[in-house]
Amino acid sequence: MKTQEAPETLEGWYVQHDVYTINWSQWRALEPAQRALISAEATAWGTAQAAPEQGSSAFFSMLGQKGDLLVVHFRPTLEALNGVELSLRQTGLFAYMQPVYSYLSVIELGLYEVIGAVQRKLATSGLEAGSTAYEEAYQQELEHQKGAMQARLYPVMPAGRYLCFYPMDKKRGETQNWYMLSMEERRQLMRGHGMIGRKYAGKVTQIISGSVGLDDWEWGVSLFADDPLVFKKLIYEMRFDAASALYALFGAFYVGIRFQPSDLGSWLSGTLPA
């Protein structure tokens, strides 16, 4: 059986999605003064994590029964992510928190479309494919394209009020196996998939993070928007695209409403700021 070519990828920030529940009965049983002290400490922790020297963090009040609090961290290294987790465990609030879900990944950009664009550009250059001049031009243009992608690899946390996160795989079944498709077949499928996403430019910001070897699924998808209905419309439309209809498997969906770390005390009191 022929082994297909693996696509080249670029990696940026490491990403951690952490979901917690709060033991509300124990929290409410505390004296108001003690709650205030713990809230102030947690607020200081959240404010520091939101804008560290490198990366960023965001806080979301979760919908449904999968958890109460969803925290997303972008950091340059696994050590930095681990430091965030350990620092939270040193706060007084952590005694009332229960971790229920986490997902580790790294922001990833596949070069399917980039390589295709480079090849199409060089096709009009008059250079002979395989020649030394062609290979030099190819590498120069590829490096130029990679440089233009740096802002997407190391983004500021998107500003949408709502977050939708879900993990996903590509099928490896007996009938449909993404990994046995040729590079060109995968490139064509991803190009069509990307065209749907472009229709929602300005309405949703999408962060794709790779997790092969890091967590239980192959990718994580984080969608940020100011209108939560955009999540439904975008994901539903993409279900009809061949890349999803034939080859995609989806995990659980986590949806939250953003609040600022300075509002953590209000959130712990049962108020979600507008």
Three-state secondary structure readout of 179-216:
HHCCHHHHHHHHHHHHHHHHCCCCCEEEEEEECCCCCC
Predicted local confidence at residue 3, as pLDDT: 65
Helix (H, G, I), strand (E, B) or coil at 227: coil
β partners of residue 58: 72
**Chain Cα centroid distance, residue 41:** 28
Q: How far apart are CA 73 and CA 103, in angstroms?
A: 11
Strands annotated E in the chain: 9-22, 56-62, 69-75, 97-110, 162-170, 204-210, 219-225, 248-250, 254-259
For the annotated catalytic residues, the residue numbers are 166
pLDDT beneath 70: ranges in the chain: 1-3, 112-113, 115-116
Helix (H, G, I), strand (E, B) or coil at 254: strand
**Chain Cα centroid distance, residue 114:** 20
Predicted local confidence at residue 2, as pLDDT: 59
Predicted local confidence at residue 100, as pLDDT: 98
Structural domains present in the chain: 12-107 (3.30.70.1030)
Predicted local confidence at residue 80, as pLDDT: 98
In whole angstroms, how far apart are CA 172 and each of 4, 63, 252?
13, 32, 19
In whole angstroms, how far apart are CA 1 and each of 89, 151, 171, 182?
49, 39, 18, 13
Predicted local confidence at residue 176, as pLDDT: 92
β partners of residue 208: 221
pTM: 0.89
Q: How far apart are CA 211 and CA 219, in angstroms?
A: 5
β partners of residue 11: 108
Which residues have C-beta within 8 Å of that of residue 192, sequence separation ≥ 6? 241, 242, 243
Interval 60-78: pLDDT, tens: 999 999 999 999 999 999 9
Do the beta carbons of residue 88 and residue 45 sit within 8 Å? yes
